[in-house]
Structure 1
């Protein structure tokens, strides 16, 4: 019988984290690496990846990076191939790469809709499919963690104009549930984190407009997410501590979605 400490241990595990050069992706990569996993990060910009890898290595984490634009189908296959060449196999896949676009629904550009959908949900399907077929299904083991959002659990409050983003994250929620149902037979768990408001490059515009205090006031805990708040949940879903948990969506939002 393993102890809780042993169940949460990731020594010997490997992880691919998309959108891992900054923000929530880097926070998750840091958590998995500190628990012992070897990490490959992916994002579009090599300079940001270099900085992220240097940060992880300063913490004693075995990390490297592969630049890839996951909105392009060919880039997905190339990323998986390179990651497998470095790690040998992929135990943990964190689908975090994403984009948003703000515009009223009646004026939302179609090309912007397609950009958000291609990265936020199409790429998750493609990379999960590739990692599943080439590593997880043959080995009968895997942990897939999709980063959704509480924006995918409900509609927008007045003033929020992110219909493509919300729709894509709602798709991530049901993608998670559906894939969990299909791939459970292979020993693969599929779960999603649904963050609330975390200060990041993606949310800086809203933070500047509404202010930290106003945004925090909507949460029962009266605070925003910080640099630690996804770590525990990510390690749970990545480790054997969650071997009997699949198809679940965990809101990490200070209680916003509960009221």
Structure 2
């Protein structure tokens, strides 16, 4: 007597229903789950997709339809994307956007490094500097590296000069998307000058000037939106022990012009953010920590520099390039809902005090 073969009977029943089984069945009566190219199970079918299976192909989810009497899957579902499509793609966040740098200076300054970073992300960079020859030199370097750039002169202490900068950018490129306020007094500070005149000079150059540049780009940005990113400093909060030491030695308070200017700049950043938000303009600032720049090396002794390193969580001084990630984030659509913020990039110096 022939014994019934339940597996054969089950297979015939499934074929009668139009279901084709593939591979080894782990449990009788359970279809083997198909998996996508990444090894993950298919998402549940949407309403109206009963009986259809989907698969991720070249970045799009397509339906796998039965192709014959045995329900054979459409061959598209089993194809791997070409190697070029599988390769990691470089994301260019600022393609064809127009960015203004308000100062470049000499050496590997914030203006130079930020201009380079913006150009690498596809931005058209307008390089401004009080020295037109230096601005042209930086713009030439950007163009030589494959970027788009133009150079002009600026005096951030004069409203007509700021307006002329904005007019130059509009005339050359038709729009202004990013304003990077890189101008600041630091390397040439006169720390022993406690006069009112010098205090007003530093406050104007480091802080009040961002009002002038913001007003200058406003007519363009209020139409298309934009990003304003200013260079602040942890000096707004962190002074170290030098002021107290100077007070003990001389009996006089040192000049607080620089930290006062950064406190004012941070406040103006927030007020501008509140005023310009309705036009789709975000306003933020970046506050770097102790940078291993020529000015720092010149002003601080080796023991003083080492003391800063030991008070920093990451145990090193920063490089100017450590701030470019924050710049590109704040200048891009990734930070479309970030405004009125001062982003501290200091390796944990302020945190540890």
| TM-score, length of structure 2 as denominator length | 0.66
Measured on the aligned residues, the alpha-carbon RMSD in Å equals: 2.3
Gaps of 5+ in 1: none
Aligned-partner SS, 2:308: helix
Larger Rg: 2
**Aligned match of 1:138:** 223
C-alpha distance in 2 between matches for 1:13 and 1:91: 6
1:2-41 aligned at under 5 Å gives the runs 6=91, 9-22=93-106, 23-41=109-127
The 1:16/1:179 distance shift into structure 2, 3 A limit, reads: same
C-alpha distance in 2 between matches for 1:204 and 1:41: 27
**Aligned match of 1:234:** 327
2:238 is the counterpart of 1:159: no
- Relative contact order higher in (CA < 8 Å, ≥ 6 apart): 1
1:201 CA displacement: 5.2
The 1:209/1:51 distance shift into structure 2, 3 A limit, reads: farther
**Aligned match of 2:66:** none
Single out whichever of 192-201 and 121-130 deviates more from structure 2: 192-201
Aligned-partner SS, 1:39: strand
1:61-210 aligned at under 5 Å gives the runs 61-100=147-186, 101-104=189-192, 108-132=194-218, 134-139=219-224, 141-152=225-236, 154-160=237-243, 161-200=254-293, 202-208=295-301
C-alpha distance in 2 between matches for 1:127 and 1:165: 20
C-alpha distance in 1 between matches for 2:255 and 2:289: 15
2:153 is the counterpart of 1:60: no
* Alignment: residue pair count: 252
**Aligned match of 2:19:** none
Give deviations 1:138-183, integer Å, cap 9, x for gaps: 22x110101111111x152222545111111111111111111121
C-alpha distance in 2 between matches for 1:202 and 1:128: 28
C-alpha distance in 1 between matches for 2:213 and 2:315: 36
- The answer to whether the 8 A contact 1:27-1:230 is kept is no
The 1:5/1:219 distance shift into structure 2, 3 A limit, reads: same
Aligned-partner SS, 2:210: helix
Gaps of 5+ in 2: 1-58, 60-88, 244-253
- The answer to whether the 8 A contact 1:76-1:123 is kept is no
C-alpha distance in 2 between matches for 1:207 and 1:58: 36
C-alpha distance in 2 between matches for 1:162 and 1:24: 24
C-alpha distance in 1 between matches for 2:204 and 2:346: 25
| TM-score, length of structure 1 as denominator length | 0.88
- The answer to whether the 8 A contact 2:157-2:205 is kept is yes
1:214-225 aligned at under 5 Å gives the runs 214-225=307-318
C-alpha distance in 1 between matches for 2:238 and 2:182: 21
The 1:209/1:76 distance shift into structure 2, 3 A limit, reads: farther
